[in-house]
Amino acid sequence: MTTSVNRERKRFQVQILNRGGDAVKKSGRQDRIIVALDTQDFSEMKRWVKSLKGLISFFKVGSELFTACGKKAVKYVRDQGAEVFLDLKFHDIPATVEASAKAAAGLGVKMFNVHALGGVQMMRAAKQAVKDISPMPWVLGVTVLTSMGENELSDELKIAMPLERQVIHLAKLAKQSGLDGVVASAREVKHVKKILGGGFKVVTPGIRPAWSASQDQKRIVTPRDAFALGTDYIVIGRPITGAKDVKGAALRVIEEIE
């Protein structure tokens, strides 16, 4: 851990104490916050990453940023000493996904994802693509998007299985395929962990602090509740990046979970 990181966290602890709180007990949760860099503006992305240096060590590069800026966005984050979750949700024929997975791993990302609905053969191809890469990135299966609810699943997609059971079903397929974990709402985390084991990772989007608007997310959970439910990593974007004081918003989230 760098000196700048230590100094920033020390300042954070002093802030908590000055507000009359108890001494901070490090839980390691701060390192499991992934901030979503959802923008098409490379300069804006750099400003966010610089503002959060020393506080946040993990960032999500999604389809919006990657489509607009390409792999230079991943390189910039890595050059700042942070990890990258490449959130491109690959969903194609197995051969194409295998090639895409190899390319993603070549960028030095910590983890990337594929749609579990692509099936076992496709997911196995993604995992096969990275098996000889060191360090090996985690491959996650996307279950059901957190913007979706029961109505979309049953009425639009004609999936008769209740949402929670569909998440568990897709998580089982992901583990059967050799993936390292899944992307799922915190509301399903307990069931995923109970059935598939604590070592099977769950990354949770749709995170909104109590003081933040839900916007287009439906199955939302607060940062504190997500960790209490057993999630391994939380993905949070607009409540932090959309704030006037980006660093202050991040500190507020850290205060909540630590």
Domain housing 36 = 27-257
* Residue ranges in the chain modelled with pLDDT below 50: 1-2, 5-6, 9, 13-14, 16-25
Position 99 in a domain: yes
Return the pLDDT at 119: 98
pLDDT digits (tens, 9 = 90+) for 220-236: 789 999 999 999 999 99
Position 201 in a domain: yes
Count of domains in the chain?
1
Percent of the chain clearing pLDDT 90 (strictly above): 81
Return the pLDDT at 74: 98
DSSP codes of every residue in 168-216: HHHHHHHHHTT-SEEE--GGGHHHHHHHH-TTSEEEE--B--TTS--TT
pLDDT digits (tens, 9 = 90+) for 78-121: 999 999 999 999 999 999 999 999 999 999 999 999 999 999 99
Give the span between the Cα atoms of 166 and 158, in whole angstroms: 12
Q: Which of 107, 98, 193, 89 is nearest to 147 (CA)?
A: 89
Summary mean pLDDT of the chain? 89
Return the pLDDT at 15: 52
Residues noted as catalytic: 89
CATH classification of the domain holding 49 = 3.20.20.70
77 close to 103: Cβ distance less than 8 angstroms: no
209 close to 256: Cβ distance less than 8 angstroms: yes
Indicate the helix (H) or strand (E) that contains 135: none
Position 16 in a domain: no
